[in-house]
Amino acid sequence: MNTLKRKILCSIVGTSLLAATALSSMVVSKAEVNRNKYPVFGVDVSNYQGDINWQELEAQNVSFAFIKATEGSGHTDESVRRNLDRAAGTGIKVSAYHFFSFDSAGETQADNFIAAVSRDEIDMPPVVDIEYYGDKRKNKPSQAEAESILRPLLSRLEAYYGVKPIIYTTLPVYFRYVKGSFSDYPLWIRSVTFEPDLMDWKFWQYSDKGTLTGYDGDEEHIDLNVYNGSEEDFEREFSKSTKKADNTAVSTRKAAT
């Protein structure tokens, strides 16, 4: 091999190694959260966290929690009933989330969630979690296909709970399906490598490798989140008295018309 070929090969290998190192660093890096800027801290949980001691979570400054309730049109999380009941005995504000399916009708997905979570059990709006699963990352549904399912799902949840649902999503799914057609819905965004400061978000999931005490499931980690606002903003936005007043005002306006 002549000198020129060796130099070219070394350059290619060196560039590849640098790229691989940068990618590895990006994958394992953690988003840094300014807790002075985002003081309201919370978690999201599912059956993977097992039996949860909600009082112990509250003692670790957990202010809110999103509890998995359902998937698609037929699945209910095994722990949703236990988690909702036990969390109600704490000062933690809760909501529940539905894992969106690209493979069943939005109306029946909404019915599945409504059957699992009553109006008075949650302090915050219901959540629709839309992300790729199975082969969907490789074989992405079209925007029209996704919207034909997501639109009636969101509409039925809003009609039942009296408030716009929150959309949880990843950055790739946000830009493909949410940004254009559903930007008027509150956003809960997953970004575990950097702060998502180029979009208007309500909640930010900044880690899927959190470690707290108070749960004993197969999953040793717990997802960590922050609210985009102050403690006063959070209490004002999600106090039940405020929601009741808003709902009364809506009912009054409807009656007047």
193-212 pLDDT tens trace: 999 988 999 999 999 999 99
Among residues of the chain, what percentage have pLDDT more than 70?
A: 82
Hey, what CATH class is 38-256 in?
alpha beta
* Res. 17 pLDDT band, cuts 50 70 90: very low
Pairing relationship of beta strands 222-227 and 41-45 according to DSSP bridges = antiparallel
What pLDDT, in 10s, does the model give residues 118-141?
999 999 999 999 999 999 999 999
pLDDT for the residue 254 = 41
pLDDT of 5 above 70: no
Per-residue pLDDT, 239 = 87
Cα dihedral sign for 153, 157, 163, 168? Answer: negative
Structure tokens at 32: 């840094």
The structure's pTM equals: 0.83
For residue 10, pLDDT beyond 50:
no
Mean pLDDT of 20-41: 68
Overall size of the chain counted in residues: 257
Q: State which amino acid sits at residue 101.
A: S
Segment 85-98 mean pLDDT: 97
26 pLDDT above the threshold of 50:
no
Output the pLDDT for position 22: 36
Are 125 and 161 within 8 A, CB to CB?
A: yes
Rounded to an integer, the average pLDDT of 166-192 is 97
- 211, with CB counted inside 10 A (0-12, 13-18, 19+), is exposed
Q: Which two tokens stand for residue 45?
A: 């949980």
**Mean pLDDT, the chain, whole residue set:** 86
What is residue 66's predicted lDDT score, i.e. its pLDDT? 98
**What pLDDT score was predicted for residue 30?**
81
